[in-house]
Structure 1
Amino acid sequence: MFSFKNNGILIVVLDACTGTVLGNKLFSGVDIRHIDGYLKSEIPQRSIILLSTRGDVAIPNNLAEAFMSLGTAKPPYLQSNGSLAFLGFRGNIKPSWIKLSTSPAGHGLVQIEKYIPLQLEEYGCARAIKTRRKDLELLKKAARSH
């Protein structure tokens, strides 16, 4: 869980193959104008990006273009102020779970609750872990005992 008390844009980056947090960065004040460069060049392949705003944040115009490089189908319309939450992916595919939610200023915070599968071959993970199905193991064990 990451919480931030200052106004700004928080970005958390996860490795899609291991689920480990690769880093987090808070952009506030004048630093916000550098966010698109960070999203386009500082995030490694096979990464899940979680982005959220807090407070009265001026959303940069070029953020919509950066979101396209992280999986949105088209450049989203971003209001200049308000609340924003985004789930994205840096890689060669556009997963179905990519999501962007916005809310105009004064309408409260936006929340995204989404299941994001990890370790998928489609992400380019070297060895995708096969899910261990306890039900099949028990069935095979029961069949052998009869």
Structure 2
Amino acid sequence: MIILLKTAAKWLACSGLIKIEHVLLGGGRRHWLPKVAHDPEQTKEEGRRLDGRNLIDDWARDKKKRGLKAEYVWNKGQLDKINPNQVDYLLGLFSYSHMDFEADRDPGPSGDPSLADMTRSALSILLKNPKGFFLFVEG
């Protein structure tokens, strides 16, 4: 599922969505990090969460605790290396804030994936589910 990740961060913190979403891809990493944490790519920038929670760590910890195959990625190169046969849950936060427009996007491995790249990756994981899936793509 590709959704507005600021909203997803709120859902995760409030409703336990952290346990059900298989694929979350987009921008807005600052909304997932606590105020005291620095962004891994823009090291001068801090998170925006005032509750002290690091939702990226919460997400990863939940998946590990439940023995699930999960990966967290933050650039195109990492996303491109994901093997959908070895991953059932994927969190990709590719930008501190909003994703760049296609014309402004760095298409290299350290840059951001395109909307098409994210959609393909999401489908490659979600299509494995015999019960079906819901995919929301926002552009």
TM norm structure 2: 0.34
Structure with higher RCO (Cα < 8 A, 6+ apart): 2
Q: TM-score, normalised by structure 1?
A: 0.33
The structure whose residues are more often strand, as a share, is: 1
Q: For the pair shown, which has the larger CA radius of gyration, 1 or 2?
A: 1
